[in-house]
Structures are given as C-alpha cells and as structure tokens.
Amino acid sequence: MTHRTLSPGRLIAATHNKGKVRELKDLFEPLGLEVVSAIDLDLPEPEETESSFAGNALLKARAAAEKTGAPALSDDSGLSVTLLNGAPGIYSARWAGDPRDFGVAMARVEQELQAAGNSDRSAKFVCALAMVWPDGHEEVFEGEVHGELVWPPRGDRGFGYDPIFVADGETITFGEMDPDRKHAMSHRADAFRKLKAALLP
C-alpha cells in the first residue's frame, strides 16, 4: 500500500474521550499539527457496530472526516484475554457498565478467568489508530503490548484495566507505573510509532 504523508494543518481527533484527546495532542502537536477534537466541534458519536478494533476505529474517523472535510484520526483499543478467546476485546469499555466502573469490569475478567480454569493468565492490550482523509483515503495501524493479569488490582495511576495488567518483563502493574514509562511501552505507543514511520517520513 502507498502511504500518504500527513501535512501540517488541522487534524480532527475523532474521539469524545478526554484522556485520548490529551494523548493525541501530546503526540501530534509537536509535529506541527493543530489537533481539534470531536468534543470541541460537538460532532456526533457514532455507534461502534464493527467486530474489530480496526473496523470501529475506521468508522469513527470516517464519520469525523466526512463531517469536517479535514483529515481525522481515531483510536479504538481494549484488553484481549487469551483464555477468554480475546474477551472483553472491543467490549472493554462496555464491560464497565453505565456509568463506567472498571472495578466491576476487572472483577468480571477475574471471575471469568476462574470459571475457565485459570490455566493461562496471559493477555494483551491492543490499539488501532485509524487515519481517514476527506477524499476517502484511509490507513490503520495496530499496536500491542503483551503481559499477565494479576489479582487483586494494584495501583491508582492510569485508567481502565491498568491495575490488573503487568507487561512482560515488568513486576509492577500499569496502574502502579510512572505514566511516562507506560506511554513508552503501551499498545498506543506501538501503534503511534508505526503511524509516524508511515505517514510522517
């Protein structure tokens, strides 16, 4: 596939998640891009109807590029547990219920691991970053970080499932880790490195 160079200018962060907007601004603004979020523009939040991280990321970026006429970037991510055949996967946010409670979501992961025999506690975080231009050109980059799940949860830094995830080669959870250190090894960092190598030569 021929990659397209991302030129300086406006980039829509196609997400309503403030944490993701912050991270995308930190990553893209030093590269000369003006990051404007779906929150700033009051864009509608499309329903995530696809069955993969990449599919859902593309759906969100397409909707934002069509509405604004500017290139749009979105992130879809989650936790994939080996023994649970990849669950919660694209349902990672939904397992936390409404309003979101990741204590509930983490307890469900542990409960389902025990019910499945607890013979394998490996898991990975996955991130798909989708970039869509208003003329329909689109590219997706996927990143992963592999690790093991621990119980009980440890640490109050980070978010989501961070307190039960220990990356391979580490002894502390993402919830206990200095955020800069997590951001250097995370699934999002991995996807971003691939995006940068392809689109910002």
- Residues interacting with ligand IMP, by CB under 6 A? 17, 76-79, 92-93, 125, 158-162, 174, 186
Q: Check the annotation: does 122 bind a ligand.
A: no
CB of 162 to ligand IMP, least distance (A): 4
CB of 132 to ligand IMP, least distance (A): 16
| Closer of 52 and 68 to ligand IMP (Cβ) | 52
Q: Is 156 a catalytic residue?
A: no
| Closer of 76 and 142 to ligand IMP (Cβ) | 76
CB of 6 to ligand IMP, least distance (A): 22
The DSSP result for the chain, as a single string, is -------SEEEEE----HHHHHHHHHHHGGGTEEEEETTTTT--------SSHHHHHHHHHHHHHHHHSS-EEEEEEEEEEGGGTT-BGGGTTGGGTTTT-HHHHHHHHHHHHHHTTS---EEEEEEEEEEE-TTS-EEEEEEEEEEEE-SS---SSS-TTGGGEEETT-SS-TTTS-HHHHHHHSHHHHHHHHHHHHH--
Q: Check the annotation: does 162 bind a ligand.
A: yes
Catalytic residue among 76, 120, 156, 190: 76
Q: Check the annotation: does 82 bind a ligand.
A: no
The residues annotated with a catalytic role in the active site are: 76
Per the annotation, binding residues for substrate are 15-20, 77, 159-162, 182, 187-188
Residue ranges at the known binding site for Mg(2+): 47, 76
